[in-house]
Amino acid sequence: MILETQRLILREFTVHDLEDIHVYASNPMVVKHMMWGPNTKEDTQDYMDRVLSMQKQEPRQEFELAAVIKDTKQLVGGCGIYRSKPSQGEIGYCFHSAFWGKGFASEAADRLLEFGFSELGLHRIFATCRPGNLGSAKVMQKIGMKYEGHIREHMWHKGSWHDSFQYSILENEHRIKA
């Protein structure tokens, strides 16, 4: 599966991507607001094994894709969409810090919305971020998602409870935006 944006190719991960993934997944700054990481080599290999397993699902429920810059063919991050019932999905994204603030996450996330609504037939797509992750919140706002609320201390990680902000967009809202 390949999805394209103006500047990115979103494609299936392959075993050859392991080192590129590990570069950003092991960076403490990149994973500061994530519920995983920083990754060890073993963590990144476990992730790769899960991603390759996802690709074999029938019917497919989870899509983790490599974000590659078209011009340079450089893998700069990953993004995904995960189906749940009834007709809902969640998107997520993680990019190498050298590529923050350049619009790549927004571009990838917006393409995932299009894929979710047009190809997967979803009704609602949501995303979450930690309250301190203002960059991710801006991505969700930029792609037309609406703030739904502050979910308090619902995730345990790295020895403490974490909050999330939740955003969503409905298919008819996305259609109007497009």
Sorted by where each starts, the structural domains of the chain and their CATH numbers stand as 2-177 (3.40.630.30)
Which pLDDT value is given to residue 52? 96
According to the model, what pLDDT value does residue 29 have?
A: 83
Output the 3-class SS for 61-120: CEEEEEEEECCCCCEEEEEEEEEECCCEEEEEEEECHHHCCCCHHHHHHHHHHHHHHHHC
User: What was the pLDDT predicted at 164?
Assistant: 95
What per-residue confidence (pLDDT) applies to 178? Answer: 60
Global confidence as pTM: 0.94
- Predicted confidence at residue 27, as pLDDT, reads 85
Q: Looking at this protein, which amino acid is placed at residue 132?
A: G
Distance from C-alpha of 144 to C-alpha of 178, rounded to nearest angstrom:
10
| Tens of pLDDT, residues 98-133 | 999 999 999 999 999 999 999 999 999 999 999 999
What pLDDT sits at residue 60?
92
Pairing of strands 75-84, 62-69: antiparallel
Residue 5 CB neighbours (<10 A): 19
Backbone angles phi, psi at 152, to 5 degrees: -90, 130
pLDDT computed for residue 35 by the predictor: 79
pLDDT of residue 32: 82
Regions in the chain scoring below 70 on pLDDT: 177-178
